[in-house]
Amino acid sequence: MLAAFAEGLGCCNITFSFWVRDKLADLLGIGEEREIISLVLLGHPAEVPEPIVRRTDVATYLD
């Protein structure tokens, strides 16, 4: 996902229920020896959101 972003692509990881997994496996011809656990969708984003500001007061970092 980081590599996709570096190339200007947007991506999203999705998970799904077991019946969807089984239906996808049938449609894609994936046998019993493999299992789909999630999908990563890729595409060109319509816009790139600004990064969120991270809080720095919630952890103590030791040197």
- Find the domain containing 19 and state its range: 2-43
Contact between 14 and 38 under an 8 Å Cβ cutoff? The reply is: yes
Chain segment 13-52, per-residue pLDDT in tens:
988 888 888 898 999 999 888 888 888 999 999 988 888 8
Q: What is the overall mean pLDDT for the chain?
A: 88
- pTM, two decimal places: 0.57
| HSE-up (13 A, CA, CB side) for residue 59 | 5
Q: Is residue 31 in a domain?
A: yes
pLDDT for 61 beyond 80: no
Chain segment 4-17, per-residue pLDDT in tens:
989 999 999 988 88
Q: In total, how many domains does the chain have?
A: 1
